[in-house]
Copies of this chain bind each other. A is one copy, B any other.
Amino acid sequence: MSRTLPVEAIEFLRRPQHAVIGWAGKDGRPFTVATWYDWDDGAILVNMDAHRRRLAWLAIGAPVSLTALDADDWYRHLSVYGQIARVADDRDLADIDRLARRYTGQPFRNRANPRVSAWIAIDSWHGWSDAGPWHLAPTP
């Protein structure tokens, strides 16, 4: 499904936007937190400290939402809805370094804690630009 994300939206996500990830607990309570992410071959890569409680929710198939705010113009933003397609230990911290370099230009500072990567497959999205819906042309 993520193949259908319009090219303009992918270009937007390829830039290091400010992003918030959302998920729901078992009791249906929503949680949101700021996150780094990257566009990775048709999915969205995120990475977490392996000791975080939130990891419990982020199993394969878990529904996830992510809102990316344009770092230069926060009246342009894109929300994507999907589910966790893959989870993998980030054994050599390659994924978190990739994210840290993308956002800060430097490798990730904390080398002590184990990390886990997750990839979000996108089912649907909603964009907003200026003062109305962002009309993203379908990819031909």
Binding site for B on A (CB under 8 A): 18, 20-24, 28-34, 63-67, 69, 74, 77, 79, 81, 109-110, 126, 128, 131
Contacts and interface: CB of A to CB of B under 8 A. Distances in A.
Contacts of A30: 22-24, 30-31, 63-65, 81
Given A20-B67, A28-B28, A33-B126, 9 more contacts: A20-B22, A20-B32, A24-B24, A30-B31, A30-B64, A32-B65, A33-B77, A33-B128, A109-B131
A21 to B, nearest CB: 8
A117 to B, nearest CB: 19
Copies of the polypeptide in the assembly: 2
Q: Name the residue among A30, A64, A69 with the largest chain B CB count within 10 angstroms.
A: A30
Nearest to A109: B131
23 contacts: A18-B69, A20-B22, A20-B32, A24-B29, A29-B63, A29-B81, A30-B30, A30-B65, A30-B81, A31-B65, A31-B79, A32-B32, A32-B65, A32-B66, A32-B67, A33-B77, A34-B69, A34-B74, A34-B77, A34-B79, A34-B128, A69-B69, A109-B131
A63 B25 CA distance: 11
A28 B24 contact: yes
Contacts of A34: 67, 69, 74, 77, 79, 128
